[in-house]
Structure 1
Amino acid sequence: MKGRSILLLTTITAVVLALPVVYAQNKPALAQQVAYKVVDGNKVDDNTLQGWKTWRALDCERCHGAQQQGLVGPSLVDALKQIDKDEFKRTVFGGRIGKGMPDFSASPRMQKHWEDLYAYLKGRSDGNIKPGDLSPMAGN
């Protein structure tokens, strides 16, 4: 009986010690502030404008659609409601090769403007930036 008590105690101790680790790994991500400014749905700050220009320059619409609605790639309007900035960064700099998403880590433009692209897409996902061409806000 003594051997069983030690085994049970060891098992309980291992479970109790593991609980904080499991909780920390499953803790929801904190909401991240995304810096984009938009007026009238299509006038944006300089950084967000660079994000839109990056979208256009890297021809992202050929897979994700001109309005980010999804084609062969997923809708980014929907995806940006669920993924955070870190997941976005991992995706553009690692790709999802098996699903057809290229790795843009060798792109100097993406390296410089990935956060701007995220802000633009987040503004589209939030419904604040309308589809189509953008222009700079007055006073930028």
Structure 2
Amino acid sequence: MTRRAVRFAIAGVFGVSSSAHAQAPAAADASLIDGWRAVRIADCARCHGKDHEGLAAPSIVGFARTQSRERFIAAILDGNPEQGMPAYRGNPLIENHIDAIYRYFAARADGSVAAGAMPGRASDTATTLE
């Protein structure tokens, strides 16, 4: 059972039925999906690997795990041309979705979104409750 399913089951048992609780997971899923799509369109996998865990370039997932939100966003927008990482500042696809991209990789880093998964699909989300 997913964390989301557990939350809804608990909410049902305790009679919690506010619309804010019902809409929060959907809004979060939409944001994660936006980030996932932007990363796919930008084709980050060509350097960072199929699951963005490293190939010719370092792991984006590992970077999200160890860096602050501000450092993560600066690294993407400013790039590191000396190391082959392009700057995405001025790229509307990335700039308009930078917070969603960060949330996607933060979710990958904490295990709430599985490698290779499209966020929001029940069959693709991590299912452990550790």
Alignment coverage as a number of residue pairs: 99
- What is residue 50 of structure 1 aligned with on the other side? 34
Partner residue of 1:113 out of 97, 120, 123? 97
Deviation for aligned residue 1:79: 1.4
Asked whether the equivalents of residues 39 and 137 of structure 1 are also in contact (C-alpha less than 8 Å), the reply is no
Q: Distance in 2 between matches of 1:88 and 1:39?
A: 27
- What is residue 60 of structure 2 aligned with on the other side? 76
- What is residue 5 of structure 1 aligned with on the other side? none
Query: What do residues 9-58 of structure 1 show as CA deviations (whole Å, max 9, x unaligned)?
Result: xxxxxxxxxxxxxxxxxxxxxxxxxxxxx858xx9610110000011010
Which is richer in strand?
1
In structure 2, do the counterparts of structure 1 residues 135 and 128 end up closer, same or farther at CA, with 3 Å as the change threshold?
A: closer
Q: Distance in 2 between matches of 1:135 and 1:128?
A: 9
Q: TM-score, normalised by structure 1?
A: 0.64
Alignment gaps of 5+ in structure 1: 1-37
In structure 2, do the counterparts of structure 1 residues 136 and 81 end up closer, same or farther at CA, with 3 Å as the change threshold?
A: closer
Alignment gaps of 5+ in structure 2: 6-25, 123-130
Q: Distance in 1 between matches of 2:92 and 2:75?
A: 16
1:64 matched to 2:48: yes
Partner residue of 1:103 out of 75, 78, 87? 87
Q: Percentage identity across aligned positions? A: 29
Q: Distance in 2 between matches of 1:95 and 1:60?
A: 12
Which is richer in helix?
2
